[in-house]
Structure 1
Amino acid sequence: MTALVSPLTMPDSSDRWTWPIDPGRYDTAAAVRPAEKQAIAELGLVNLRRMARHDPDAPGWRVVRRLLRPLDNVAAALHEPATSHRRRGRLDAAAVVLLRCAETGRSYWAWSGEEWAGLLGQDLQSFRASVPIWAEEAVRPQLAAHAFLLGGFADFYKLGSFGRLALAWRVFGRERVDGEIRRIRAVLAGWGYKLGREDDQLLPMVVCQVLLLNRSPHLEDLTTALFERIRAERLLPAARGNTLHALQRAVAELGFCDPPQRMTGRHSARASGGSPVWAEWVERWYTTSTLTPRVRGSLRATLFKAGRWIEAEHPEVADPADWTRKTCATWVAAVDRMKVGDYLQRTASLKERLGKPMEAPSKAGHLTAVRTFFRDLQEWEWIPRRFDPQRALGTPRSITALLGPDPRVIADDIWAKLMWAGLNLQEDDLPQTKAGNFYPLELVRAVTLTWLFSGQRSDEIARLRTGCIRWEHDGAVIAGDSQQVLARDAVCLLDVPTHKTGTAFTKPVDPILGQALDAWQAVRPTQPKFTDRRTGELVDPLFAFRARKVSSAYINNTVIPMLCRKAGVPTADVRGDITSHRARSTIASQLYNAKEPMTLFELQAWLGHRSPQSTQFYAKISPTTLTRAYDDAGYFSRNVRTIEVLVDRDAVASGAATAGEPWQHYDLGHGYCTYTFFEQCQHRMACARCDFYTPKDSSKAQLLEAKGNLQRMRASIPLTEDEQAAIDDGQTALDRLLVRLADTPTPAGPTPRQLDLPANTTLLPIVDVRQGKAPQA
């Protein structure tokens, strides 16, 4: 075994492998001559299998020398031990080739890939059926080497589970092949790939097949075009696509090719837009638009759906230049009545949603896509302006009325269980694959706690960068490499990158989040830089592993189901599925409803919103806080007051009540009222000198209180705002109430104004100033 080769060490130029067979040195005539066919028949099977012992000057051997010489050169070029078993396999392979040439009448120089594949067979059973019965199993690898070096055969995917690694060793040399594999392993191991371990067997198989397809054992000969051709022609099984992706990333890191293209969608390349004319316009718009790739791709898919609607319903307007206001109105009406699955190419994933009415946000999105499309085409002067897209393709009020932000708060009990599950995450809780955990525990825990404590969008979490956590104590920054123990009151700051609504900003977070991020960053393997899809900068994303960024969908697809499973809660509640964005609203609402709550502007700065209006949608008042505020407002007690009623049972039993004697007394605090219809009296809380009112400091009231036969009860009396204020606010409010009721008759008859005047005073009539006359009696 050779010493470990550094990933960036270029091999010695003197060790470069060259193709051992030069067809220009041989007679490559396609047809087998009659004399050659006769000589092969005369030599017979016994002589052909003993070529090593033949006399080259014998007449029969001299005739077939044109065919025999390249076979001998191939056998000499192979890298394998010269054992008797290997030698027998080479001789038998050459004999099989010569016999097939005589049988077909065509030399191996003219054999196609299909002919070589038919000779080698898809498996051992089909191989034995295509060769003479005496050909052993060891002949097949030898024939594969002849097919590769003589015929350029590279369709190894047609051979089933064929030993590519052994073939590459035999053709290129074991030390050379293993050295190139070690270079790839060193790069992948540095990124955290399990493919970088020596016990992994998948990477050597893929590397060898790619080297064989490239007809060179050197990594520096691998090109971007080769990787694209392998994917386009599906020359590798689909199950090995991830390994091929990792291989190309490693080769790109070594500087020999471009990194693999980021996949924008599984089916985007095969999507069609109905009419070819419409699809051509859509593609032209797609390549010109400056929207972000994700938005541009989403609009493109919707425009293709519109194209299929046009092809089915209105083929006469396939060209956007032919659209009119009438066409726009027809499209708006069609969207308003559209159902889930209409005009789609694939509906298998819709399941139970298929055929249901489309929701308002989806309808608005369809209209926005076509509106943006026509607006751009008109502004770029590609089509004449025949209508205003903003008006003709505007979203109807019936749809806009159903739109708006709707952050859905997770119930406190469920959120507490999810937080417990995140804080107690263990190795056994991670989702398992055939190869084990895809991400290490430290990374999963860091992503989970970021979702539970940061209140950020999933895209912002996925785009966090290394070094995003900073610690401060007493206003002084604590260095990242400091060995000092963090103080208990140390402040943990999180640097959030440029996001949906604003530029980068810094926010305080719980120290437990900072500790989790620091723990992951301490074990994070070195990763290549990635282009930030929002800013276009080359950055080091914090959540990257195996040369891949953690997807923004990882929280929805993996973290939340994992936490729900551990916490024993369902993945959906009455408000829908538990998604990554619901945590943002939940955290904001808890901060807004805390015992010492954040103000709206403080919460706006913490969430990173551009305007307080956006924050208001997230700052939901919890039912507990709302209940406490409602109770404090005293709605019921403000309008209905419970007062004590004294019933004189002696007066009732003796019959005095029927004679007009008072038997029911309403306790007003400052006195008693004996008016039977007390709740209808307008003076009940501001009694004047009424015959039904008895002050508590009078002797009559003292005699009433001295009675032992009184039954005490409670009565609910509805109060006006002025009456309630008279009770709650004191003398000032009572005086205002008395002034307002000065001319209102008491139950006894006179008004308070008349009760307060001396006996010899004459009241003047009240003159209506506006009419200039006294009101009639």
Structure 2
Amino acid sequence: MSAIERHAVAASTANAGATGPTGAIPWRSGGERRTRLLPEEADALAGLSPRALRRHRATGVPRRTAPLWRALSQLVEPLDETAKGLHHDDDDLARRAGRTAVAAILAKCAELERPWWAWTAWDWARLAGPSREAFLAAQPLPTEQSARPFLIALSYLLAGFTDFQHLGNFNRLHLAQLVFGPGSVTEAIDETGTVLERWGYRSMVGSDGRYRLVGVLAQALLLNRSPRLADLTTEAFAALHAHPASTGRYQRDLHALQKIVAELGHCDCPARPGFNHAPGLAGVPAAWAELLRRWHDTSTLTPNVRNNIRVNMAKAGRWAAAEHPEATDPRQWTRTICAAWIAAVDRMMIGDWVQRRDHLSERLGEPISPRTKAHLLMGTRMFFRDLQEWEWIPRRFDPARALATPRTISAVISTDPRVIADDVWAKLLWAGLNLEPADFPGTYYPLELIRALTLTWLFSGLRSDELSRLRVGCVRWQHNGTPISGDATDILADDAVCLLDVPVHKTGTAFTKPVDPLVGQAIEAWQAVRPIQPKRLDRKTSEHVDLLFSIRAHPVAKSYINQTVIPALCAKAGVPTADVRGNITSHRARSTIASQLYNAKEPMTLFELQAWLGHRSPNTTQHYAKITPNTLTKAYTEAGYFARNVRTIEVLLDREAITSGAAADGQSWQYYDLGHGLCSYTFFEQCPHRMACAKCDFYLPKDSTKAQLLEAKDNLQRMLATVPLTEEEQAAIEDGQSALDTLLDRLADIPTPAGATPRQLSSPTDGRMLPIVEVRQHKQS
């Protein structure tokens, strides 16, 4: 065993169990332990100047100061021996850096009046300083910048110092190379880099500086006191995660490093950060909190649902403690308390009975939404139902009835998928089909992955969770019902059907749906360049699977579409990221696609759309199958509602009678064209015989002299008047002669504007309706 290894082992043994800079780290010299300088050591240190301290070398004793150095042998010899064992280039710069580090330690011994083995971790941290600049500023003489790593290496080897969090940013890789040697550290880096490159990383350190696995690897080797990756066991990683130096980015990167070491087979794969995170229960009564924790640990619901119910039930516990101190234990709840809780939920504001409010500043005090009220009551029902079913509390009420959501709340809750306007959606489709690298500057993901993910979102109508959980090989091709291989490009280019395998999802089991061939081609293009990735646990099926959209051992986040893809597409298409119905989100594409399929020229039926969307019930599909305004307008127009109830008739205005004043004397000036004659009755639209003229005194046959003279006038003005129709008149127009005969019989004894009835006027029974013009037809002409 070399001298440096002996010191490392000794320091590790001495530092066993130390967790922070709170206690002295002993150094045993000559079998004795002392915490104060000897008088001769103090005198020797006082007699040596800072420059003289730097001259000392183990290989040669400086002139004129030999007696002083002999008095310091117990302090100096371990320092010199350890400094000689450091791995560095044996040049003048490294020797000066080593002398400066030893001199700084000896000067600190004189200042503290204690030998260096009696220092606390805080003493070593103060000597090294929070930064390189602070260390250099504290030295009495100009000092090489490389002296600080030598000092940290000596403190690490001799005193087991590992409180790197107090030293700020420094080169941990250089420190590991000084301690373990460049060869050993490089071997560990190469072994780690091989896995990273296989997963798709360009290098150990990304060009954007985002990946600092070299630094976290060096620190992990130092804290574990071994340069071998095989020594990074599961227990070692547990200690590394708990170490105070593993904070911030080092804690995050340590998770990635453990995945790499687990891939090499040296430890277990780490749990996902934040997985099974349980929110706090501050302010919740003890009995309530105990049952709530027990329920959370026992329930088989998904972690997110358990945590949401835990948060809501913590609110109920705080409310009970404040409003009903007699019911701070779930065992004490009755129907009366349930009714009071329902009333409290109905009147609850944002920020009521929560643990912290600092993130609610803008919405604090606003009423909670009806859907939130329903979720609160649903969680309460599930909580009490489980407690009763598991016989943890007595059955004092039926949760389904006592905690049912009131109709006043459920009535205002509706599913309303927000369809994106057709013109905006068309622009987004164009942007997705024409993606370029410039659309995603400095992107974390390869463009092939982004293109495949974008086109799948634009054409498949999948939820974000389904998109992120698609598996490698999810695309299959068929031609005339027969499977074909993806390399049959001649068939793929013509009429091949692309089938997409969707995993187990929110409402049902796995299923297969047809999608546009563009989706299959984009997915296969990504699979061709996709690096080999470690299998990931699918929490819905508890299987380890190869996720399609995964790179660098990380699956694409479900929020990536909302946060990155959609803003990029909107910027490329020149459309805003929000419309009158809110932000454009990933789920709105699902509603838009479903609506377009339902309103196509050859639309899907409701049950076909249900199968394509993967819904368990057609009732859910109805929320997505929205009829577009264009389709509704077309159907409304073709129904002819306005034309059915209103018709137009041509009116002749005698301008000569109006301008001459004859109209004011009672002469007729307005004539309604009945086809077979003219009606001069001014209030024609109010005449009950308007559509089946009885030919009273206001009637002028077209073959009469007056009618012919009227038609011959030059200043005659023609216009159209609308005539509302009764149900009998509509039936007479639409159903033919039989309906007309019925109308004539009904009008036989109704007086005309002239006073006589049609029967008195001897009107013929075989009358006919006047020819009228439909409003729509007139507008088209």
2:176 aligned to which of 163, 168, 178: 168
Residue 52 of structure 1 corresponds to 59
Q: Which amino acid aligns with 1:140?
A: R
Residue 708 of structure 1 corresponds to 712
Contact 1:744/1:751, CA 8 A, preserved across alignment: yes
The CA deviation string for residues 92-150 of structure 1, in whole angstroms up to 9 with x for no partner, is 54555456556656544443322222332223454357676587654433332222122
The CA distance in 1 between the partners of 2:664 and 2:143, in whole Å, is 131
Mark the CA change 1:674 to 1:240 in structure 2 (over 3 Å): closer, same or farther.
same
Matched, 1:422 2:432: yes
Contact 1:272/1:279, CA 8 A, preserved across alignment: no
Deviates more, 1:582-591 or 1:133-142: 133-142
Matched, 1:254 2:256: no
The CA distance in 2 between the partners of 1:566 and 1:659, in whole Å, is 73
The CA distance in 1 between the partners of 2:527 and 2:351, in whole Å, is 45
Mark the CA change 1:658 to 1:20 in structure 2 (over 3 Å): closer, same or farther.
closer
Q: Which amino acid aligns with 1:412?
A: D
Matched, 1:344 2:354: yes
Mark the CA change 1:753 to 1:426 in structure 2 (over 3 Å): closer, same or farther.
farther
Deviates more, 1:143-152 or 1:82-91: 82-91
The Cα shift of 1:183 comes to 0.9
Residue 223 of structure 1 corresponds to 233
Mark the CA change 1:33 to 1:546 in structure 2 (over 3 Å): closer, same or farther.
closer
The CA distance in 1 between the partners of 2:660 and 2:173, in whole Å, is 118
2:299 aligned to which of 286, 289, 292: 289
Mark the CA change 1:343 to 1:226 in structure 2 (over 3 Å): closer, same or farther.
farther
2:249 aligned to which of 224, 239, 245: 239
The CA distance in 2 between the partners of 1:714 and 1:425, in whole Å, is 56
The Cα shift of 1:220 comes to 1.4
Matched, 1:30 2:64: no
Residue 452 of structure 2 corresponds to 446
Deviates more, 1:156-165 or 1:68-77: 68-77
Mark the CA change 1:141 to 1:654 in structure 2 (over 3 Å): closer, same or farther.
closer
Residue 586 of structure 1 corresponds to 592
Mark the CA change 1:650 to 1:546 in structure 2 (over 3 Å): closer, same or farther.
closer
The CA distance in 1 between the partners of 2:107 and 2:418, in whole Å, is 77
Deviates more, 1:470-479 or 1:231-240: 231-240
Residue 527 of structure 1 corresponds to 533
Matched, 1:537 2:540: no
The Cα shift of 1:325 comes to 2.2
Deviates more, 1:182-191 or 1:653-662: 653-662
Contact 1:141/1:167, CA 8 A, preserved across alignment: yes
Q: Which amino acid aligns with 2:712?
A: G
Residue 188 of structure 1 corresponds to 196
Contact 1:27/1:66, CA 8 A, preserved across alignment: no
The CA distance in 1 between the partners of 2:706 and 2:107, in whole Å, is 137
Residue 549 of structure 1 corresponds to 555
The Cα shift of 1:381 comes to 0.9
TM-score (norm 1): 0.84
The CA distance in 2 between the partners of 1:704 and 1:208, in whole Å, is 111
The CA distance in 1 between the partners of 2:443 and 2:725, in whole Å, is 69
Residue 112 of structure 1 corresponds to 120
SS in structure 2 opposite 1:245? helix
The CA distance in 2 between the partners of 1:312 and 1:585, in whole Å, is 44
Mark the CA change 1:352 to 1:565 in structure 2 (over 3 Å): closer, same or farther.
farther
Residue 437 of structure 1 corresponds to 443
For 1:376-387, what aligned pairs fall within 5 Å after superposition? Answer: 376-387=386-397
Contact 2:163/2:244, CA 8 A, preserved across alignment: no
The Cα shift of 1:207 comes to 0.7
Contact 2:351/2:364, CA 8 A, preserved across alignment: yes
Q: Which amino acid aligns with 1:557?
A: Q
Residue 308 of structure 2 corresponds to 298
Mark the CA change 1:18 to 1:218 in structure 2 (over 3 Å): closer, same or farther.
farther
The CA distance in 1 between the partners of 2:305 and 2:705, in whole Å, is 83
Mark the CA change 1:352 to 1:130 in structure 2 (over 3 Å): closer, same or farther.
closer
Residue 637 of structure 1 corresponds to 643
Contact 2:199/2:552, CA 8 A, preserved across alignment: yes
Mark the CA change 1:359 to 1:653 in structure 2 (over 3 Å): closer, same or farther.
closer
Q: What is the percent sequence identity of the aligned residues?
A: 57
Contact 2:468/2:556, CA 8 A, preserved across alignment: yes
Residue 465 of structure 2 corresponds to 459
Matched, 1:140 2:143: no
Q: Which amino acid aligns with 1:340?
A: I
The CA distance in 2 between the partners of 1:608 and 1:160, in whole Å, is 54
Q: Which amino acid aligns with 1:204?
A: V
Q: What is the Cα-based RMSD across aligned positions, in Å? A: 3.9
Contact 1:195/1:203, CA 8 A, preserved across alignment: no
SS in structure 2 opposite 1:52? coil
The Cα shift of 1:502 comes to 1.8
SS in structure 2 opposite 1:495? strand
Structure 1: gaps (5+ residues): 1-13, 759-777
Deviates more, 1:351-360 or 1:309-318: 309-318
Structure 2: gaps (5+ residues): 14-27, 766-781
SS in structure 1 opposite 2:721? strand
The Cα shift of 1:402 comes to 0.9
Residue 159 of structure 2 corresponds to 151
Mark the CA change 1:33 to 1:113 in structure 2 (over 3 Å): closer, same or farther.
closer
The CA distance in 2 between the partners of 1:82 and 1:646, in whole Å, is 117
Matched, 1:517 2:523: yes
Residue 328 of structure 2 corresponds to 318
Contact 1:273/1:279, CA 8 A, preserved across alignment: no
Residue 411 of structure 1 corresponds to 421
Residue 776 of structure 2 corresponds to none
Residue 505 of structure 1 corresponds to 511
Contact 1:96/1:132, CA 8 A, preserved across alignment: no
SS in structure 1 opposite 2:408? helix
Q: Which amino acid aligns with 1:368?
A: M
Deviates more, 1:448-457 or 1:472-481: 472-481
2:217 aligned to which of 201, 207, 212: 207
Q: Which amino acid aligns with 2:309?
A: L
The CA deviation string for residues 685-722 of structure 1, in whole angstroms up to 9 with x for no partner, is 345787877888xx659975995247654332211233
The Cα shift of 1:172 comes to 0.9
Mark the CA change 1:28 to 1:470 in structure 2 (over 3 Å): closer, same or farther.
farther
The CA distance in 1 between the partners of 2:318 and 2:165, in whole Å, is 37
The CA distance in 2 between the partners of 1:711 and 1:67, in whole Å, is 124
Q: Which amino acid aligns with 1:171?
A: V
The Cα shift of 1:240 comes to 4.0
